[in-house]
Amino acid sequence: MGKIPPGVGPKDPQVVVLVGATGDLSRRKLLPGLFHLSSTGFIPGCRIIGVSLDEINADAFREIAQGALGQFSTRKVKEADWAAFAETLDYVPITAGAEALQAAVHHAERKLGGNSRRVHYLSVPPNAALPAVRMLAEADLVERSRIILEKPFGTDLRSAVSLNAKLHEVFAEDQIFRIDHFLGKEAAQNILAFRFANGLFEPIWNRNFIDHVQIDVPETLGLGKRAAFYEATGAYRDMVVTHLFQILAFMAMEPPTALEPAPISEEKNKVFRSMLPLDPRDVVRGQYTGYRSEEGVDPESDTETFVALKCSIDNWRWAGVPFFLRTGKRLAEGQRIISIAFREPPKSMFPAGSGVGAQGPDHLTFDLADAAKMSLSFYGKRPGPGMRLDKLSLQFAMHETGMIGDVLEAYERLILDAMRGDHTLFTTAEGIERLWEVSIPLLEAPPPVRLYPPGAWGPKSIHQLVAPHAWRLPFERAWRDPNATGA
């Protein structure tokens, strides 16, 4: 990591109240992320108070944090850095109540001195968000604070509207940060750079040149220890109404007037307003075989562990262009791609058998992995006599810039932005409510779940959904290895 540029971190020290501190997300991402941000100096002083239902003390919480760093930190954890970080951790069980939490925060503030600010991070399921907000209010911790709320934000339109209203009784809108970590991914922000910092692609970024779009996020992961959360949530609420639609907005929105929160949100919300309500006939829900016998899962569960759907954005730019979205657990591969298929040429002068069009349309592909990649595929001539065409590609791998070490993990980036009060990469109440609104037909009449074997790409009916097109994954041609020298 090079020198930290000025302005990327907050000016003031921060007290973080981490609610859900012993949960899966906290251990995988939040504790390792806060450790990295603190130990590299992004935050000028930080103390963390873990809060959860677990009846443990601060030492036990430190042990959990140490275990989490050992298991999930992607960077080397130096002994001295860990010791310094451990000293900043404290813990309050929920049962100890608001007064104990207040005392812990005041203690942390005294330790930090000066004008510290508070960040409340609610890493809890939707039904636990309001009780946590009430506890913060009772503990009088709203002043000088910001609150980060994990998705999904509500479970349908009614609950999201009510959550927003109740939240506003305690926090002002500019204190609220609704997080969607896909927007913090370096590669997601690169969609904005790619589209709006270049003159090359924007003129063809519309229905006249683009045939269809796929946003495909298959995961090999299963439930882990999240059965209770997942049973009540399912793949649609966990991934689509959140991450996949947010990425779709970056891909589909009009150029914002400035790279600032209000103009960006406005353009994203226009995309959501133009989305047609989902037609349940355009949705495939799946469940992997064996899910129902997992611990914590109802033996008759109807929760989907997979969802694929077609949606439409009915505006001048996108009318008639289908957007296909797919995600699920225990699938064949873990990938996060956006694939844009261009229209084929209106006439072909190439003789039959030349191979033109034989390998599908030209594609622009974004891989949203931390080590992001992009590829533009096109037909070119195979060297030698005659005119045989092959699918070739221009590829870019972030890896090649030599700056991959500077990439902040999505949560790190967003926590830092929230600490600075920057809403640019956060979602808005209006956008979220509209997404629940387009979801109504699906939530009211969900198609039955179809079984798929673990390690597959979903139930068989996914092919009908996308026909006459085909799913881009699994890739026919693998990404080129940027380190390969070529023979």
What does the binding site for ligand BG6 look like in residue numbers (CB under 6 A)?
Answer: 181, 219, 221, 238, 336
Extract the tokens encoding 144: 């000088």
Please, which residue, 90 or 219, has the CB nearer to ligand BG6?
A: 219
Range 103-136 burial, b when 16+ CB lie within 10 A, else e:
ebbeebbeebeeebbbbbbbbbbbebbbebbebb
List all residues 6 or more positions away from 487 whose beta carbon is below 8 Å from its beta carbon.
none
Query: Minimal distance in Å, beta carbon 235 to ligand BG6?
Result: 8
Annotated catalytic residue within 36, 120, 212, 243: 243
Phi-psi region of 191 (alpha: psi -120 to 50; beta: other; left: phi over 0): alpha
Rounded Cα–Cα distance for residues 391 and 357 (Å): 9
Active site annotation includes 212:
no
Of 13 and 125, which CB lies nearer to ligand BG6 in the complex structure? Answer: 125
Q: Tell me the C-alpha distance between 233 and 152, whole Å.
A: 8
Residue 85: CB minimum distance to ligand BG6, A: 23
Query: Which lies closer to ligand BG6 via its Cβ, residue 88 or residue 190?
Result: 190
218 DSSP β-pair partners? 328
Q: Which residue's Cβ lies closest to ligand BG6? A: 238
Residue with Cβ nearer ligand BG6 (238 or 362): 238
Inter-residue contact 18 to 48 (CB < 8 Å): yes
Give the whole-angstrom CA distance, residue 441 versus residue 437.
9
Residue whose CB is less far from ligand BG6, 108 or 410: 410
As measured in angstroms, the least distance from the Cβ of 230 to ligand BG6 is: 7
CB of 181 to ligand BG6, least distance (A): 6
- The number of helices, as runs of H, and strands, as runs of E, in the chain is 14, 15
Neighbours of 306 (CB within 10 A): 31
> Minimum distance between the CB of residue 158 and ligand BG6, rounded to whole angstroms?
22
Give catalytic residues, as residue numbers: 243
